[in-house]
A and B are shown apart, each in its own frame.
Chain A
């Protein structure tokens, strides 16, 4: 056991670090949201462009698409170093993390040459159109229709929870081309121009008050058959590629963590004593410390496997369940520690971070696979338990009860 880079890795880390130091600010511990009152989209695009020009935007991609052909471990080293800097996040990750890999695998060479570099550069933003009002955890239950019309497909229906649809240029889409087939077999996958006629994007107001995702309505939207990814009927197979990438992509909860709770407990008053002297607070901090470090050390194990060129084990599948619940509990702890005043909005960035954690965590426990779906996945794919009973197995899609038709 040891924790150190090989000389090559150390050299690579230094290259990352040197570039970041020249181009970004190190995090200080308590981050004020300095991007709050400015044109965040533009700031994020500028940062992405800067990374792209230096080769860091999608470093594991081949050179012709704007990468530097980096290895998995180099990608992790870059991410580790970048995470120490205060840089804009949250605009490109869907496109780069989910649309990118699907285009890489299923698009034609001409399409890849056309779409991948601007995606990496941040010039064109991509979103992912999967979930529907009646297809959430059971995303294969989606009903938006595609009907073939000569060399085109005509799309009608509705998508929901589409992050970034309001500022996206392109999207990846899975729709039902044949409701007479079984649900997993009747789907086809496309990419499309989000500016196409017939698309209407309506932001959804979240419990945080913000709107980062949308409803997207399709009325007779035309997609050329050349923008189909995979064969007709392969939509689920292609979607799975994306969902696998999403599970890798949606990981650790960003936000208040055990070190924030600990720092806070040392200075917050509890009936004349520091809150850290409170036994129940100490017990909670011990629990969160074990969870936070359990995840950190789990990642080190994953990295160890990658570093040896092996496929990591399934242990990373626990990340989102643990971190989202920890985030919710830490947010609640911070607010509770303020007693009645915990409900008040304030400029104090530490208090804000607890309130944001508490408000945002319910979303994280749902996004990219609910806690319950992830536990099913652990149970079925890691522990080898039988698949859930499926009442719709073998039925033509059109005959499946949906509760709202």
Chain B
């Protein structure tokens, strides 16, 4: 037998964090309560036929399923992270992660990522006390639904190419590719001010704002333009510091997006495995051929890496670790790669059926791309990862 260092399987640098306040064992896993929450979320979305609803939205002129959204609000999910003093559930990021995985698995056609991972999290972290008192309780009840607007052109936004401008609290400019505006009542606008970049809150119902749907590739979620002509706004965080805050918001959101992505990857892999077991060619299930087996094994490998990296990032997020920027980018890159692989190879495994509108394969393929672009492309996140590594001097 060929042989290589046997003990090497255990040969890695362990990460051990000492915490004097709690007595917990090594545990890169969710708690029983969190797993229970996840299984309840799974049951709910299964019962509500979330995937079928996603197809329904794709085939309608609407861009979200309001009925499902209202039920989600009733379950309290929009208030999971909102502190009890603002009428939320006051739970942690880990609870949000397990919900995100299930929303991803069932392609839930709701504005959850925009309103919860981006808008709500930004307000909790950077909103003034006054704004929090006004807005957070309404996010719990669903009176307020939020989104975040950054893109202005057919290229990646940076702190140097933002043209939307604020002066005397009034915003002028146009954002495109803003997700979920049909549901949203408010948006955070990334804009230029005399001091640099600001984050500002805009009420989308005011008369100085006009919103238009832009047709997109995944019709189960909507993209919009927001035109602002002297739209009144309120500042979030410090003036001129907006780009740093924006980066920090999307670092957090990247972890939650990665859970949606691993949920979707798992669903696409499960679908491919089922089909490979049922579909016969040359007298045998196609899953008995190595061409298919190895493809599905590759999907499993990519998903496992993504899942483990997402678990670690969830820990970094929930414990406010200084490792978050690296951990979030690692989870995001792995999860984007896993979902893109699983969703495209699920189509390939299904053969011609996979290319039809009738089969669900394309729903996952399209959602995978939507999620992978929503807070910046794979190339951008790889670059973020490496520049964070350079800064943190990890070697």
A: residues with CB less than 8 A from B are: 1-7, 9-10, 13, 29, 73, 75-76, 79-80, 82-84, 89-90, 93-94, 96-98, 128, 130-131, 161-164, 212-213, 246, 248-254, 259, 262-263, 266, 276, 282-283, 285-287, 289-291, 293-301, 303-305, 307-308, 315-316, 318-319, 321-322, 363-364, 366-368, 372, 374-376, 378-380, 382-389
Contact = CB atoms under 8 A, between A and B. Distances in A.
B322 interface: no
A301 B294 contact: no
A310 to B, nearest CB: 10
Interface in B1-50: 1-19, 22-31
A35 to B, nearest CB: 13
A95 B107 CA distance: 50
A376 to B, nearest CB: 6
Contacts of A388: 288, 290, 293
B293 A375 contact: yes
A386 B379 contact: no
B256 to A, nearest CB: 15
Contact of B9 (A250, A259, A276, A305): A250
A96 B6 contact: yes
27 contacts: A1-B319, A2-B25, A3-B28, A4-B26, A13-B16, A80-B12, A83-B12, A84-B13, A93-B3, A96-B6, A130-B1, A213-B3, A250-B3, A262-B389, A286-B382, A294-B304, A295-B305, A295-B308, A298-B305, A301-B308, A303-B26, A318-B304, A375-B297, A375-B298, A384-B277, A385-B273, A388-B288
A376 B296 CA distance: 10
Contact of A161 (B1, B334, B390, B395): B1
B214 interface: no
Contacts of A251: 8-11
Given A297-B311, A322-B305, A305 B284 contact: no
Contact of A386 (B5, B17, B288, B389): B288
A318 B2 contact: no
B390 A295 contact: no
B330 A1 contact: no
A297 B308 contact: yes
Give the one of A1, A262, A315, A364 with max B CB within 10 A: A1
B305 A318 contact: yes
Nearest to A310: B29
A214 B67 CA distance: 69
Contacts of A10: 18
B12 A252 contact: yes
Please list the 3 inter-chain residue pairs (A to B) with the smallest Cβ-Cβ separation, ordered nearest first: A251-B9, A93-B6, A294-B305
A383 B273 contact: yes
B331 to A, nearest CB: 9
Given A213-B2, A289-B330, A4 B8 contact: no
A294 B308 contact: yes
A390 to B, nearest CB: 10
Given A3-B27, A4-B25, A128-B1, A385 B296 contact: yes
Contacts of B27: 1-3, 304, 307-308
B386 interface: yes
B302 to A, nearest CB: 9
Chain A interface helix/strand/loop/mixed: helix
B281 interface: no
B60 to A, nearest CB: 35
Nearest to A251: B9
Contacts of B94: 1
B3 A1 contact: no
Given A259-B395, A293-B312, A301-B308, A1 B2 contact: no
Contacts of B301: 318, 321-322, 378
A35 B284 CA distance: 54
A289 B389 contact: yes
Contact of A290 (B18, B314, B330): B330
B84 interface: no
B207 to A, nearest CB: 46
B294 A379 contact: yes
B287 interface: yes
Contacts of B8: 89, 250-254
A363 B4 contact: yes
B4 A368 contact: yes
Contact of B10 (A13, A83, A163, A367): A83
B64 interface: no
Given A250-B8, A299-B12, A367-B2, 5 more contacts: A4-B25, A6-B23, A251-B8, A252-B11, A290-B385
B306 interface: yes
B318 interface: yes
Contact of A249 (B9, B29, B315): B9
A173 B29 CA distance: 41
A375 to B, nearest CB: 4
Nearest to B331: A290
Nearest to A127: B1
Contacts of A130: 1
B267 to A, nearest CB: 14
A323 to B, nearest CB: 9
A303 B312 CA distance: 13
A385 B1 contact: no
Contacts of B382: 282-283, 286-287
A159 to B, nearest CB: 9
A374 B293 CA distance: 11
B56 to A, nearest CB: 30
B330 to A, nearest CB: 5
Contacts of A301: 28-29, 308, 311
Contacts of B394: 259, 262
A393 B9 CA distance: 34
B314 A1 contact: yes
B296 A379 contact: yes
Contacts of B14: 80, 300
B11 A300 contact: no
